[in-house]
Amino acid sequence: KKKRMILYDLIIVGAGITGLSAARYLSKHHPEIKFKILEARDRVGGRTLNQTVSLPLSSDKDSDYLTTIIDIGGQWIGPTQKNIHELIQQLEGNNNSSVFIEQTWATRKDKYAGQPGLYEALRVKSLTMEEEQEVIEMNKRLDQMALEIPSVQEPFKDCAMAKEWDQISVGEYLEKNVQQKNSLQELFLEIITLTACNPDRVSLLYWLILLRSVPGGYVLLDDGLNGAQHYRLKNGAQNISILMANELKNQYGSDVIQFSQPVTSVRYHDSLLTLTTVSSCQQYATHRLFLAMSPTLLKSIQFTPSLPLDYQKLSVTMFMGHCIKTIFIYKIPFWRRHDRQPKQVEDALRGPVYNIYEIDLHDQMYYALTGLIDGDLAKYWCKRSEHELTTSIIAQYQYLYNSQEIPIKTIVQYWPNEQFSGGCYAAVFPPNGLSQYGSVLRKPIQFDGSKNPNIWIASTETALEWISYMAGALEAGERTIKEIIKTI
């Protein structure tokens, strides 16, 4: 039986950082605007997700348990990402300083044995000084190329090289311009780690736009001091969305966010948009629709009339990064041992994980390694059983760190298999994609006969700063809602 259809000024689809930050802006500055948030999942947070883990405090069967929160989605915050710092301060109040955890990055080069904060980007062998210098010079060169792009929003305007850069992949460009094999491998590893995509699939222009969106360029994308991976949150990154959602519920009531309501169809008729959710017994009517989700998800909704062709093509041309995030918890940090003999041969790469870092559980009783599987390798392991994957990673760690330790708990998050994300960290453009459809990425949709735009799409992919980061999702949400308000 169909429920009574209520008319809203605005409906926001998606209760991640973008959608919730937009709703929060409305609540603070325009509480008179009537809106509703529809979320496909049974939770808030989008591509951020916490998992609470309980671990025994002793071996006694009646032991009390330690509870800790682990990020199994996006988690990083850089010191220069001012917007997300300000939001956390507003949400946490006086507790702001205690919520940040400073990530330490102790690499093999830093003689990390015995220290917390292990970080490994696995290679066939370490770089020579000459190879390291070539990597540094190429990153500087890419930064300079990015500065030739006048703006993230209009990369083709007044940039003579933009079209040429979009015709090739960043992988192809590096293969032509990097002389030493190990330097090339290192640069490929950087791009896979930062995009969760193989470099031969990513437009060179897209990579330059991503760099251009970072105030300070590549150096601030790095894992080092003050880099984009400097902080994580004690209560997990999803807590940002949880706190925003709680604010909205306190102001508007618990039903301001409707969960488990994936939108299946949107119909435009007589100046109104009618949304139908998967339950088919619930419909919502609105004058304006804010799709706070990746453009790749547009193809999951049936629009009547059909979306303009460029938006349809945009949805199938962009593609999500592929990332499997694994966390293995151990009783001892065997990777810190002074006497271990680190492997620097090709056999060290025989396992699934190419990127490993230690996370601090803050109890000195348990220790954890996060292992990332990115790009085409993640596609492969998404088709294998979880048992096969965890067994392979255990063997890889045992070989790499000369140990026979077995984890007491393993956590695996398959982001490519998430129906309402389709991958992680963010969607990217392949070669020639920006030239053909990039112009509509941040452009609202206006149906024939309408005086104003009807549909806006925003997410970290449409950010003007910090594309693919939480700070980017926040920027996109707040900027887009301000555009929408002008039409109300």
**For 342-402, where are the alpha helices, taking DSSP H only?**
376-382, 386-400
Per-residue model confidence (pLDDT) at position 270: 85
pLDDT for residue 94: 66
Q: Is residue 223 helix, strand or coil?
A: coil
Three-state SS at 457: strand
263 is in an annotated binding site: yes
- Please name the amino acid found at residue 430: P
**Using CA atoms, how far apart are residues 146 and 402, in angstroms rounded to an integer?**
43
Answer whether 217's CB lies under 8 Å from 211's CB.
yes
pTM: 0.94
| pLDDT for residue 113 | 46
Rounded Cα–Cα distance for residues 44 and 431 (Å): 33
Determine how many CB atoms are found less than 10 A away from the CB of residue 39. Answer: 26
CA–CA distance, 175 with 190 (Å, rounded to integer): 14
Neighbouring C-beta atoms of residue 450, cutoff 10 Å: 13
383 SS3 class: coil
Digitized pLDDT (tens) for each residue of the chain, 488 residues in all: 455 688 999 999 999 999 999 999 999 999 999 999 999 999 999 999 999 999 888 777 777 888 899 999 999 999 999 999 999 999 988 666 678 888 766 554 444 444 556 666 666 567 899 999 999 999 999 999 999 999 999 999 999 999 999 999 999 999 999 999 999 999 999 999 999 999 999 999 999 999 999 999 998 987 767 789 989 999 999 999 999 999 999 999 999 999 999 999 999 998 899 999 886 678 899 999 999 999 999 999 999 999 999 999 999 999 999 999 999 999 999 888 755 555 554 555 678 998 898 887 866 789 999 999 999 999 999 999 999 999 999 999 998 888 999 999 999 999 999 999 999 999 999 999 999 999 999 999 998 878 889 999 999 999 999 999 999 999 999 999 999 999 99
Structure tokens at 25: 């802006």
Give the pLDDT confidence score for residue 349 in this predicted structure: 64
| Contact indicator for 445, 55 with CB cutoff of 8 Å | no
Does residue 481 sit in helix, strand or coil? helix
Q: Say how far apart CA 311 and CA 441 lie, in whole Å.
A: 8
How many C-beta atoms lie closer than 10 Å to residue 11's C-beta? 23
Both tokens assigned to 322: 């592929």
- Report cis status (omega within 30 of 0) of the bond before 305: yes
- What radius of gyration do the chain's Cα atoms show? 23
Q: Determine the pLDDT at residue 419.
A: 94
40 is in an annotated binding site: yes
pLDDT score for 75: 95
**β-strands 257-258, 35-38: how paired?**
parallel
Q: Which residues of 295-331 are buried (b: 16+ CB within 10 A; e: fewer)?
A: bbbbeebebeeebbebbeebbebbbbbbbbbbbbbbe
Q: Name the token pair of 230.
A: 């400097």
Interacting residues of 387 by C-beta distance below 8 A, sequence separation 6+: none
Cα separation, 85 vs 71, whole angstroms: 18
Q: Is 195 known as a binding-site position?
A: no
In the prediction, which pLDDT does 348 show? Answer: 56
The pLDDT assigned to 448 comes to 84
β partners of residue 368: 329, 359
Question: Which domains are present in the chain?
Answer: 4-46+236-307+445-486 (3.50.50.60), 129-220 (1.10.405.10), 322-424 (3.90.660.10)
Instruction: Give the model's pLDDT for residue 23.
Output: 98
